[in-house]
Amino acid sequence: MANNSFNLTTEPWIPVLANGKHELYSLETLFGHPASIRQLDIADPLERVSIIRLLLSIMYGARQNGYSSSEAAKRIMENGHDPEILDYLRTWAYRFDLMSETEPFLQVADMMPQGKPKDYGFTRLHPAMQRPLWQTHDPYKPVTPAEAARMLLVCNMYDVAGVHTGMNGDPKAAEGKRTPQGVAQAGGLAIAIIDGNNLWETLVLNFCPTNNGNKPIWEYPPLECADMEPDATGPAYYYTYPSRRIRLLWNTDGLCTGAYVTYGNRSEWTTPENEYMAFWTQDKTGKPKPVNLTFGPLIDRPLWTQWDKAFVEPDGDEHYPATFLWASNFNSTVSFDTVAAQYGSQSSSIARIRQDHMTLDMRRIQGHANVSAIVDKLVKQAWPKVGNGDNPHDAWAKADTAMLPYLAGGKEPDLG
């Protein structure tokens, strides 16, 4: 191999829009000048979510319980960066080497399939690569380490289910196969990202205080094929949750040619106390469960039309992402993106990706009881002749146009 090191702390790999230019930044450069970055320069919503979760995990690793108060966070936000994060990165830099022979970042060193290895290219690494509809380039063409790093994060957060390759050393593998155990950690969640005026504001707005302890995956011993038992919880662990075991493959030119991928720890989706970016509800027994925005009537309607299902329980309890309440300390108006993946048959492929954007005044949350009645009235006004051939999508579009200003703080709408 021409180069046997690619450290994510010092090598450029994160696409950003900074100072009016499209750039690739290392983690140190990003956290050294985050206020100069307008946003991540990423079209793939799954990739954006995965990188944001990594960046927040680094912040939790450095700050453990977050900032002590919203006032302290505001001061650090205004300062434009947090030196403690850079100190933390330098301390743990040896665990961020993508090509390390002994402890490669988020991978299992020397992991090998049972039996004769097969060449899957990147179709096993990036879940969208399995469908020609989503392929952005030849899945068998080598990619740079920067591209491979981003695919690695997406795989660990959004990998599909179905039978995976059995790996040597995996007690749950047999005859070259690993039985299914569900999609990866973020695949079962609808995740919201609060948007700030720049990347630093975005990160701070999503950086909720916590007292659950924090230990990201790189602070644990190097991964092995067997399940690991965490001795700490908190968002730092769940945002880097080891739901897959992966090993990137390299050629002699230092390019990535593909990857081995199999199951790791079973994903955990009953942890609202640690998944601060997700929407939550409850099942009939009162057990927490994530809101699913990608099935039934939810998938084809604007998010606001499902306000009660996404935000409010029948008993009136409010179950927003914890980031919403944290962000309201900085501004009553919250602008956010919501990303959710819909998986196909037996969750063995990604069928579609849903991305919503909303701006709302958090003061409206206290008056949520009026929202459903307003939505019903708007739809009836926009679509008065139900069953007579009117186009329901036109009705939703009219109601959508009228409703959004209300959610952002305006007067109750009326289509007249």
Which residues, at least 6 apart from 343, have a Cβ–Cβ distance to it below 8 Å? 160, 161, 183, 187, 349, 350, 351
Residue with tokens 């038992």: 229
Q: What pLDDT sits at residue 375?
A: 46
Mean pLDDT of 39-56: 96
Q: How far is the C-alpha of 78 from the C-alpha of 75, rounded, in Å?
A: 5
Q: How far is the C-alpha of 263 from the C-alpha of 243, rounded, in Å?
A: 6
Q: What pLDDT sits at residue 211?
A: 85
Mean pLDDT of 345-352: 84
- Spatial CA neighbour of 30 closest among 153, 200, 187: 200
Say which DSSP state 167 is in.
B
User: Mean of the per-residue pLDDT values for the chain?
Assistant: 84
Tell me the per-residue pLDDT of 116-151, one tens digit each, with 9 for 90 and over: 888 888 888 888 776 655 666 788 899 999 999 999
Tell me the per-residue pLDDT of 220-274, one tens digit each, with 9 for 90 and over: 999 999 888 888 789 999 999 999 999 999 999 999 999 999 999 999 988 888 9
Q: Are 240 and 302 in contact (CB under 8 A)?
A: no
Q: Indicate the SS3 state at residue 142.
A: coil
Q: Are 37 and 25 in contact (CB under 8 A)?
A: yes
- Radius of gyration of the CA atoms of the chain, in A: 22
pLDDT at 283 exceeding the cut of 50: yes
H helix runs in 226-285, sequence order = 235-238
Provide the percentage of residues in the chain whose pLDDT is more than 90.
Answer: 55
Q: What pLDDT sits at residue 183?
A: 94
Confidence class for position 317, pLDDT limits 50, 70, 90: low
Q: What pLDDT sits at residue 133?
A: 56
- Spatial CA neighbour of 352 closest among 158, 215, 214: 158
